[in-house]
Structure 1
Amino acid sequence: MASLWMGDLDAYMDETFILNAFSAQGENVASVKIIRNKLTGGPAGYCFVEFADQSCAERCLIRLNGKPLLGANPARRFKLNYATHSRQPDGRIVYNPRPPRTQSPEYSIFVGDLTPEVDNNQLYDFFVRKYPSCMSGKVITDPNGVSRGYGFVRFAEENEQKKALGEMQGATGLGSRPVKISLATPKNSRPRPEYSQDPDPKLDVDEANRELMEQGEEMYEALMNCHWQPLDYTTPEMFGVVSP
């Protein structure tokens, strides 16, 4: 079995709603566990979705993350992430959202000039067909889920990242425009900018746009790497309360 964490749920979104949402996208789900707040008994706003195996879970994460959630009112999008689960000595199954990411190197490229219809799955498919080590594709969106016109693609192998940089510049077949490719700068590796004392500095538009794009990747990385404790498993000590 393999699990995904699913968040941004409204109170009415029960197990049946989640099962139907995945089924409408052609995906089979083994089970759904809605997490509840122990203090109030109400839904905590997230759940864990179990699949038959890891490949099914990974396919759903790539295909559905960020897509509209059918039947949601008001509108919602699939908000998915990896999760693990373990069985405790008393028989309980404990779910752990967002486990630590692998420490193996990852190599990324920036992909620009994406047209609005391109989603995560299309971006990933476009590269994985030619580069088997492609791990993911992420289209950066605004708060309303609308594409900002660029994204990032990750590879497990540096040589395939370099090939993609050289071979996919101006490639067609992803959306309605040729794509622009460049190296994605790793976090914390860029020097701090030095500001001129010129009272009327000239703005380098291309550089400013690149910085905004890279900041979008950093924000995405920060969100993906954050760690938190599910409400179902909090302890008094987490809130500064000492048990007698």
Structure 2
Amino acid sequence: MAAGPIAERNQDATIYVGGLDDRVSESLLWELFVQSGPVVNVHMPKDRVTQTHQGYGFVEFMGEEDADYAIKVMNMIKLYGKPVRVNKASAHQKNLDVGANVFIGNLDPEVDEKLLYDTFSAFGVILQTPKVMRDPETGNSKAFAFINFASFEASDAAIEAMNNQYLCNRPISVSYAFKKDVKGERHGSAAERLLAAQNPLSHADRPHQLFADAPPTIMGPMLMAPPPPPTPSPMPPPGPP
């Protein structure tokens, strides 16, 4: 049910669904949005430690018209009492992108998108599936990839921790990626950081962070009753003085 890499999806036919309750699953999203049109894929990024979703997901439809219709009729409906936000995935990710784009080089040919996500999501929220650059004819990796983090705190931590570390028996290089529109300039500049600080993401639009201050509370029927306290043993009678 989970979708493939972002590059393989039809972004124009993919919607972002945010503000999701912990109890919402991929199958529930599928059942809900298939009422708007044929659904191709459903993907809810998960916390790699707790394996719980991060409060948002993506639904890809057969066509852009179905996605537009779903946005029109499903935005702000309530699931488990919480209104969900529905809008185009491309627009949402553009709003979240602060420029914390990281380049990973010298990759082993066996390193794929999932391994990169599992490895680098420990440092913070990743906005979209890591992009391994591949030969268009053979599909083989070109030995480098890009990861777009939601914050500079996450990208800074990833670069500091992972640069020159071994991944699949190869030392990888991790640094800020070059900007597409400015020759020779990398992401992570002071100007980008200042702009990100002046326009912080609202809590409504910020994906849940990977690590919380406390373990998540499991609600509903999965809540387990605590074990009964042990029965105290009877005290022995006092001995003779």
Alignment TM-score, normalising by the size of structure 1: 0.42
- Structure with the greater alpha carbon radius of gyration: 2
- TM-score normalised by L of structure 2: 0.42
